[in-house]
C-alpha cells in the first residue's frame, strides 16, 4: 500500500484516491502480434523468447522516492543465451540471489523520458525465489539512470501518474 494517498490532477482538478508507485510493461519493445505467431516465440509474465534467439527477463527498475518509499518500473532486459539459461536454471532454486548480476540491455521504451531508454546498459540482480529481479542501470547521465541514483520527488511521481493514467490530457 502506498503512503502517498491520493492526488489531484493538475490539468483538470480530477481527484484520484491513490498515487501509484508501480507501472509495468507487458512485453519487450520488440514484441508484436506477428512475432507471437512464430512457433519459437513465447511471452510469459517473467520471460520472453523471440524467434528462438532473442531472450528477455522482466525485472524492476527501482527508484527511491525522496521521503522514504520506492517507485518501480517493471521492465524487460535482454540477456545473452548463457545468462538467460543460467537464470532459468535457477528460477526456482533457493539461494539464487547469491548469483553475480547478469549483464543486459534494457528492452523497454519508457516514453516519459526525453531520451530513449532502449538499449541502456544494465545489471540484473536475481533475488530470492518469488521476487522479481532488480535492474540496475549503468551510472550514466541518462535521466532514468540519474533518477535511480538520486531519487524522485512526490511531484515527479504525480507527473508520472498524470502522464500514464491520462495520456490524452
Please report, for the chain, the start and end positions of each structural domain, with discontinuous segments joined by +. 20-152
Helix runs in 22-153, H state only = 33-36, 81-89, 143-150
Q: What is the pTM of this model?
A: 0.87
Residue 82 has pLDDT above 80, yes or no: yes
Identify whether the C-beta of residue 102 lies closer than 8 Å to the C-beta of residue 90. no
Reported as a single tens digit per residue, the pLDDT across 112-148 is: 999 999 999 999 999 999 999 999 999 999 999 999 9
Report which DSSP code applies to 100: P
pLDDT in tens, 35-66: 999 999 999 999 999 999 999 999 999 999 99
Phi/psi at 108 (nearest 5 deg)?
Answer: -125, 130
Amino acid at each position: 500500500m502506498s503512503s502517498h494517498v491520493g492526488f489531484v490532477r493538475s490539468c483538470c482538478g480530477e481527484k484520484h484516491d491513490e498515487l501509484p508507485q508501480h507501472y509495468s510493461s507487458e512485453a519487450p519493445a520488440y514484441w508484436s502480434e506477428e512475432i507471437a505467431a512464430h512457433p519459437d516465440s513465447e511471452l510469459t509474465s517473467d520471460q520472453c523468447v523471440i524467434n528462438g534467439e532473442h531472450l528477455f527477463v522482466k525485472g524492476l527498475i527501482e527508484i527511491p522516492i525522496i521521503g522514504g518509499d520506492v517507485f518501480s518500473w517493471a521492465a524487460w532486459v535482454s540477456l545473452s543465451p548463457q545468462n538467460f539459461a543460467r537464470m532459468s536454471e535457477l528460477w526456482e532454486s533457493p539461494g539464487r540471489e547469491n548469483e553475480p548480476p547478469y549483464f543486459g540491455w534494457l528492452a523497454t521504451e519508457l516514453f516519459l523520458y526525453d531520451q530513449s531508454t532502449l538499449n541502456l546498459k544494465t545489471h540484473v540482480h536475481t533475488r530470492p525465489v518469488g521476487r522479481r529481479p532488480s535492474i540496475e542501470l549503468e551510472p550514466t547521465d541518462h535521466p532514468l539512470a540519474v533518477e535511480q541514483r538520486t531519487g524522485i520527488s512526490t511531484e515527479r511521481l504525480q507527473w508520472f501518474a498524470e502522464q500514464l493514467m491520462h495520456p490524452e490530457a
